[in-house]
Amino acid sequence: MTSVVIPVNSFDLVIFGATGDLAMRKLLPALFRRHAVAQIPEQARIIGLSLSKHTTDDYRTLATNALEKHIPADELDSELLSSFLERIHYIPNDVTDPEGWTELVDMLDQFPDRIRVYYLAVSPTFFGVIAHGLSNAGLSDGKARLVVEKPLGHDLKSAQQLNSDIGAVFEERCIYRIDHYLGKETVQNLMALRFANALFEPIWNAQSIDHVQITAAESLGVGTRGGYYDNSGAMRDMVQNHLMQLICLIAMEPPHDFNANAVRDEKLKVLRALKPIKGFDALNKTVRAQYLAGPDSPSYVDEAKNPESTTECYVAIEAEIENWRWAGVPFFLRTGKKLRSQVTEIAIVFKKPPHLVFGNLSTPISNNVLSIRLQPDEGLELELMTKEPGPGGFRLHATPLDVAFAEAQDTGRMPDAYERLLMDVVRGDQTLFMRGDEVEAAWEWIDPIMEGWEKSGTKPETYDSNSEGPTAAVEMMARSGRRWRKI
């Protein structure tokens, strides 16, 4: 099945922070790939902005280097590359200088009717400054779209400040808050699975589901990002955004329609129904930890260059959703760096049959598990109990029904999240973007946990590099009579 390409209207996409890592590693490769399938109209322009005094030619050279690094050589056809580079322009600009906006204004004014997208691939400390700069330069009318990305605040208060800074210039319908997890094909497939199949809805609740496990395990350490990461930690870097968005999509009620506000209203209800974890529960219902040095690899505190660091690079949480559908079903989340493997999955673990008709089984019956794999190898697996073949006795074993999406749908390469999200911005579709109130509700749940850690005066646990994580997380699970899935 070839994926359908629906061309978008012509646009000018302005990237602030055009020489930074996000632009080079994600945005330009994603745009190139959309160009390669002719989704982007010929007249559309990509305008890079940053402090560096480059010319457009210099920037095109930087873009070429980035594409050569991040796109496989067999996809980088030279004609495609040169037609893509023709779309790229560069303006050196200091966003803090009120006089520095003229060149951008002149360039955008050449095509006043085009869709304008401003992608702020810069530190959030500049979000407010840039939003006001755009407004003062007359570039923030109702057609313009502002794209921002995490960290969207450090806590509830700073997230509110940020929302109010950009909200003073751009209406909510013009603000696109990216969480790249929402652009992943498998995450959207979770919605297809739930809302396009009648099969699961009757059992998608506390009557049939024992618990849910969400795992985002990474095999790499923090590496050269140690300095940045030490001010953030796994809770802010992964849980507040990516994992909480996944909880929302698993737990939300079916929206009445697949439109941005209907979907986001339902997600918000889930966030608001999360049982607060505060005080002692912050230690009892969560585990935070740091990896130790391996035979050939440094420890977290070494990579962070901060021997006294109490920043967590692993978190496990037992969350609860206080509503009719989910009462009594724990949602276990875990994420960490330098773990045994690179696995991101959601596992819905169903209850066991209420009565066992097979009396003397040599192996116990295991729970049915529906696992939705985000990586590696995006797909679905349903673990069912089946009979072991052969006469004599009656032995059961768990058999997986496995569907790898790329294979099943024969689509070849799965598109990167940014390809989808960038085109959605141009189309003006906010369904896969976070609304301001969602971001704030997520912080409202996260803040008391982090306060609980801080007030306890305890230090993070430790775990061996390339392991499954700290023992304390296994113990937390065991207290609820359950076990983590293998990673």
Q: Which residue is nearest to ligand BG6 (CB)?
A: 237
CB of 223 to ligand BG6, least distance (A): 10
- List the interface residues with ligand BG6, window 29-68 (CB under 6 A): none
CB of 337 to ligand BG6, least distance (A): 7
Catalytic residue among 54, 180, 211, 242: 242
Q: Where are the alpha helices (DSSP H) in 259-299?
A: 260-273, 281-284
The whole-angstrom separation of Cα 198 and Cα 391 is: 36
CB of 73 to ligand BG6, least distance (A): 23
Toward ligand BG6, which CB reaches closer, 39 or 344?
344
Counting Cα atoms < 13 Å in the Cβ hemisphere of 338 gives 25
Q: Report CA dihedral (395, 206, 434, 173) to the nearest 10 degrees.
A: 130
Q: Token pair for residue 172? A: 């909510």
Which contiguous run of DSSP H or E holds residue 117? strand 115-120
Toward ligand BG6, which CB reaches closer, 25 or 351?
25
Which residues neighbour 29 within 8 Å (Cβ) at sequence distance 6 or greater?
66, 67, 70, 71, 416, 418
- In angstroms, the Cα distances linking 320 to 83, 209, 213 are 52, 13, 12
**Is residue 416 a contact residue for ligand BG6 (CB under 6 A)?**
no
Toward ligand BG6, which CB reaches closer, 344 or 371?
344
Toward ligand BG6, which CB reaches closer, 321 or 422?
422
In this chain, which of 12, 185, 210, 218 binds ligand BG6, going by CB under 6 A?
218
CB of 69 to ligand BG6, least distance (A): 17
CB of 393 to ligand BG6, least distance (A): 44
Toward ligand BG6, which CB reaches closer, 31 or 152?
152
Q: Is the peptide bond before 151 cis (omega within 30 degrees of 0)?
A: yes
**Is residue 237 a contact residue for ligand BG6 (CB under 6 A)?**
yes
| String of contacts with ligand BG6 for each residue 364-383, x by CB under 6 A | --------------------
SS3 289: strand
CB 418, CB 30: distance < 8 Å: yes
Toward ligand BG6, which CB reaches closer, 133 or 226?
226
**Is residue 230 a contact residue for ligand BG6 (CB under 6 A)?**
no
Toward ligand BG6, which CB reaches closer, 237 or 312?
237
The whole-angstrom separation of Cα 236 and Cα 233 is: 6
φ, ψ at 236 (rounded to 5°): -80, -35
CB of 218 to ligand BG6, least distance (A): 6
167: left (phi over 0), alpha (psi -120 to 50) or beta: alpha
User: What is the residue type of 195?
Assistant: F
The whole-angstrom separation of Cα 193 and Cα 199 is: 9
Q: Bridge-partner residues for 289, per DSSP?
A: 314, 461
Which residues neighbour 30 within 8 Å (Cβ) at sequence distance 6 or greater?
416, 418, 419, 422
**Is residue 240 a contact residue for ligand BG6 (CB under 6 A)?**
no
CB of 153 to ligand BG6, least distance (A): 15
SS3 169: coil
314-319 β-sheet, strand order = 396-404, 379-387, 369-375, 343-350, 209-217, 331-336, 314-319, 286-291, 461-463
Toward ligand BG6, which CB reaches closer, 311 or 344?
344
CA 75 and chain centroid, separation? 26
The whole-angstrom separation of Cα 376 and Cα 380 is: 11
Toward ligand BG6, which CB reaches closer, 151 or 452?
151
**Is residue 344 a contact residue for ligand BG6 (CB under 6 A)?**
yes
| String of contacts with ligand BG6 for each residue 150-189, x by CB under 6 A | ----------------------------------------
Number of residues that bind ligand BG6 (CB under 6 A): 3
Catalytic, 211? Answer no
CB of 372 to ligand BG6, least distance (A): 14
CB of 214 to ligand BG6, least distance (A): 12
Active site residues: 242
Binding site for ligand BG6 (CB under 6 A): 218, 237, 344
